Chains A and B, each alone.
Chain A
Amino acid sequence: MAETAQLSDEFLRQLSAVGEVDVLVGIPTFNNKDTIERVVRAVQIGLTKYFHRDRCVLINPDGGSTDGTPDIFKNASVSDFEIMLTSNPLRTFHRVSAPYHGIPGKETALRTMFVAADLLRAKACAILSPASLSVTPEWVESLVRPAYRDNFDFVAPLYQRQKFDGLLVKGLLSPVVRAAYGSRIHEPVASDLGLSGNLARHFLEKNIWDEDMTTFGLEVWMTTTAVVDGFKIAESFLGPRIQPASQFGQDLGGTIRQVVGALFKCLEMHESYWLPRTGSEAPPTFGFQYDVALEPLKLSTKAILDNFRSSIGQLVPVLESILTPATLADIRQMIELPDRQFRCPDELWVKTIFEFAAAYRHSVINRDHLLQALTPLYRARVSSFILENVKAPPAKLDQRVEQLAEEFERQKPYLIDRWNAKPGGER
């Protein structure tokens, strides 16, 4: 049994009253008053529709919201749906909300959920983002069912994204995971996912909770750890994913530092697993995949390029210590390209990422600075991708993403060479 210092007395009291459960759904929150009610209603309807015979609990570890989020969570009602539901829940539906102990943040919230899952001996869990605008009751079934009924341990979501949404995932995170770990998970940093109770308990037993890992990018760690430790992975199609509008580039540096930093750290932790691996395979997919027309994200490539050019100049000395001369030379050439012809070829992008990963591993410079230096290069890559595909239909775009992923896989030997090279070798 895991340590329970994570749980407040009130939370523990509520969980004790719930008792053993079959399905635990968690929605970690912090000031999500605008979206939380919709998510809670979707979850409750989903559990009633698809798991009406099972013992279920909806948990809300809250990081100290000041906008009334926990009250909205507790009071969200589905009474207007009752006549539409074809199922009547046989059991008491439990909804538990309590602030959690520890440093506010997603990692503490997730740890609290895992502790709760362990205490309640949950057979399957789902984690849902409190900010999703497109969540439906069917998401609950899609994420829980493979773990609860089909013996999978880690259920990653498959979304239909808006055009040009998720470029960091498609253009860096997912293909690196694919190339290194051999698993073609499309969404390795998802905030909506399903997992078995066994996997939740496994995560809890790992000695990472007090480490730096927990201050960023826990999702990457969960995904890669599930792969490395031999758990059964699946993907489940959820449908369209619409998030609240946000400006591209808003705190991009912070995001890259978190998720790419976590990715590189995971490569470091798991090197004995991925270094000898070759090839990749797709996890089984659940759900009927369909497309709906989605408004593409509107991004200004000029603004992104301007941002890139204005920041890259100062970073050249830093890049000299990270990249090989050949790669840096290619980048310098790229800087000079006029906007309309601006391209960051797949091959260059992949080499850049792999050289950054190796440099991170060797700590050639302060890791935070290293990751900061990646940010403008990422902007360059995004601009190139958009310019190249502005008129491409969704199927063509998917093909391009697949081509990029294949390039990452093809260059894995290069990553291995850079990774194993002694510091002070060719730069």
Chain B
Amino acid sequence: MQANPLWYKDAVIYELHVRAFCDSDGDGAGEFKGLTQKLDYLKDLGITAVWLLPFYPSPWRDDGYDISDYTGIHPAYGTLDDFRTFLNEAHRRDIRVITELVLNHTSDQHPWFQEARSSLDNPRRDWYVWSETPDRYQDARIIFSDTEQSNWAWDISSKAYYWHRFFSHQPDLNYDNPAVRDEMWKVMRFWLEMGVDGLRLDAVPYLVERDHTPCENLPETHDVLKFLRQRLDRNFPDKMFLAEANQWPKDVRAYFGDADECHMAFHFPLMPRMFLAVNLEDRKPLVDVLERTPEIPAACQWGIFLRNHDELTLEMVTMDERDYMYDEFAKDARAKLNLGIRRRLAPLMEGDRRRIELLNGLLMSMPGTPILYYGDEIGMGDNIYLGDRNGVRTPMQWNGGWNAGFSAADPERLYSAVISNPLYGYQVVNVESQRRSEHSLLSWMKQLIGVRKSTRVFSRGTMQMLRPLNHRVLAYVREFENEKILVVSNLSSQAQAAELDLRPWKGTVPIEMFGGNPFPRIGDLPYLLTLGPYHFYWFRLRRL
């Protein structure tokens, strides 16, 4: 891989679950060998980085986020050698690899916790957060509200309560203990030395607890991150930390620090507002959240996304927005989980290809690094009848044949049934079919990614919002160095006209980026554009 300390700014990231991607050994679940076989697919799509969900040894009570060994590979996914092979093959194709680092908690099966609970005197006792009563930290909210009644769980062995912000089988590590910090740095070092390019720091706001606080975003948490970042910069200057901090933009800002904490952070509040804006046919939710998004250090980057492995979180919206989202997108109550909606992109858009394209167009043109969720590039469906978030983690649909081409195993042996309904079933929605047509969603996504990557304006440019009178039209100009791109999107189901004040760019010629056709030169008068339902334009503004 070419050295490029800012590679993450220009990346197009693809999030996938190793278990769900490709099964090469017929045991019914994907593994690294299978994933390695599919790297050409990702390369062809235009992906430049993959983010892997946890693949470490785990009892799998939270789909791998409950880790029992930080430096191993779960046998179901292969061996460390398999991982190294995958890593090398990815790098050979100029695809970087981002892995999960679940900093906040371990599985209760982790040897550290087993030792910690064995006696009060054990050296690892203080690696976790204990209390004799469940009364401390009362101001902390319960995150998995559907399943947990408390952030404290009683440990019958050591007759004390331990702290857990997530499931009760995921005890929180105690970052007030320097030994914990040192050990987690060793874990990081292990993977980074192997060649991993970035680490997604799961649940990072919750690292430290203090009484009379909500136990989120505390200054001490940032101290931990600065500690880790210092070591990263000293030893691995081209690696990246990606913070998972589901907070308001002004609170997420802190996770960048002064470019001395995380390189990237997810922009959680932006995501539901893309859905809101398209459903309301009104740019207001997007404009509001972008106006509230603070400046970040030049070397830092937002990670933007439409969907991921979790429920579509509605934590960072108002109550009215949440109610509206539930009413519009979760008409079946089974689709609701915790404070979110556990559906994939295509079902959320009711299979409307135009809306799917529009949302991806927004994703690829807004400030930040886009992160695609596996399967959304072909419009995969979901299964809300599966428990927890498993309905959005079903096997990748490669073709219309046996087990969707995911596995040669007996269908009953699959870790999860493939989607097989008439709308989104693998017979209809699969990579092989879509590869055959240049008019498929997959082909379109490939073209979209290609156009995005043709310029650095999208990945690094500024954004100036335009405000045409027509609120159904979202328009902004991205600029980087001497390049300018005008993005105009019709958020509504009906044709729209919009007059844009483009006088600052007077004299330039808009060149539509997908077809390459020039549009009339910009003059003094308002620039009139008409757009079909859910249509968008990307124009390169050139002085000709």
Contacts and interface: CB of A to CB of B under 8 A. Distances in A.
Top 3 closest pairs, chain A to chain B, by CB: A17-B469, A92-B471, A17-B470
Contacts of B498: 17
B280 interface: yes
A65 B468 CA distance: 28
Given A13-B469, A17-B468, 5 more contacts: A14-B469, A19-B470, A20-B494, A90-B284, A90-B321
Given A16-B497, A91-B280, A92-B284, A53 B471 contact: no
Interface in B369-402: none
B282 A53 contact: no
Contacts of A17: 468-471, 498
Nearest to A20: B494
A92 B276 contact: no
A21 to B, nearest CB: 11
Name the residue among B285, B468, B471, B472 with the largest chain A CB count within 10 angstroms.
Answer: B471
B60 interface: no
A77 interface: no
Interface of A: 13-14, 16-20, 52-53, 55, 87-92, 94
B471 A90 contact: no
Interface string B447-471: 0000000000000000000001111
B497 A53 contact: no
Contact of B282 (A13, A14, A88, A90): A90
B180 to A, nearest CB: 41
A149 B467 CA distance: 32
Interface string B309-347: 000000000101100100000000000000000000000
Contacts of B497: 16
Contacts of B282: 55, 90-92
Interface of B: 276, 280, 282-285, 318, 320-321, 324, 468-472, 492, 494, 496-498
B324 A90 contact: yes
B57 to A, nearest CB: 45
Nearest to B497: A16
A90 B470 contact: no
A14 B282 CA distance: 16
14 contacts: A16-B470, A17-B468, A17-B471, A18-B471, A19-B492, A20-B494, A88-B320, A88-B321, A89-B284, A90-B280, A90-B284, A90-B320, A91-B282, A92-B284
Contacts of A13: 469
B25 to A, nearest CB: 50
A418 to B, nearest CB: 56
A259 B497 CA distance: 44
Contact of B320 (A16, A20, A87, A92): A87
Nearest to B285: A90
A91 B281 CA distance: 9
A88 B472 contact: no
Nearest to B470: A17
A20 B280 CA distance: 12
Nearest to B276: A90
A91 B321 contact: no
A17 B283 CA distance: 13
Given A19-B492, A90-B280, A92-B283, A53 B469 contact: no
Contacts of A52: 320
Contact of A53 (B318, B320, B494): B320
B318 A88 contact: yes
A88 B469 CA distance: 21
B324 A53 contact: yes
A94 B496 CA distance: 17
Nearest to B469: A17
B280 to A, nearest CB: 6
Contacts of B285: 90
Contacts of B471: 17-19, 91-92, 94
Contacts of B284: 89-92
Nearest to B467: A92
Contacts of A87: 320
B385 to A, nearest CB: 30
Residue in A18, A53, A89 whose Cβ sees the most chain B Cβ within 10 Å: A53
B292 to A, nearest CB: 13
B320 A19 contact: no
A365 B321 CA distance: 64
B466 to A, nearest CB: 13
The winner among A19, A52, A87, A92 for most chain B CB atoms within 10 A is: A92
A55 B494 CA distance: 15
Contacts of B469: 13-14, 17
A14 B280 CA distance: 20
A325 B400 CA distance: 98
Contacts of B283: 92
A19 B282 CA distance: 11
A23 B525 CA distance: 32
B304 to A, nearest CB: 21
B20 to A, nearest CB: 35
A4 to B, nearest CB: 16
A94 B471 CA distance: 9
Nearest to B327: A53
B496 to A, nearest CB: 8
A87 B468 CA distance: 26
Nearest to B492: A19
Nearest to A93: B284
Contacts of B472: 19
A18 B494 CA distance: 13
A19 to B, nearest CB: 6
Contacts of A88: 318, 320-321
B197 to A, nearest CB: 40
A181 to B, nearest CB: 41
Nearest to A88: B318
Contacts of A92: 282-284, 471
Contacts of B318: 88
A16 B526 CA distance: 15
Contacts of A16: 470, 497
Nearest to A87: B320
Contacts of A53: 320, 324
A332 B225 CA distance: 99
Contacts of A90: 276, 280, 282, 284-285, 320-321, 324
A144 B283 CA distance: 25
A20 B282 CA distance: 12
A94 B470 CA distance: 10
B321 to A, nearest CB: 6
A427 B372 CA distance: 89
B449 to A, nearest CB: 31
A156 B401 CA distance: 66
A91 B283 CA distance: 8
Nearest to B473: A17
B295 to A, nearest CB: 24
A90 B173 CA distance: 40
B302 to A, nearest CB: 23
Contacts of B280: 90-91
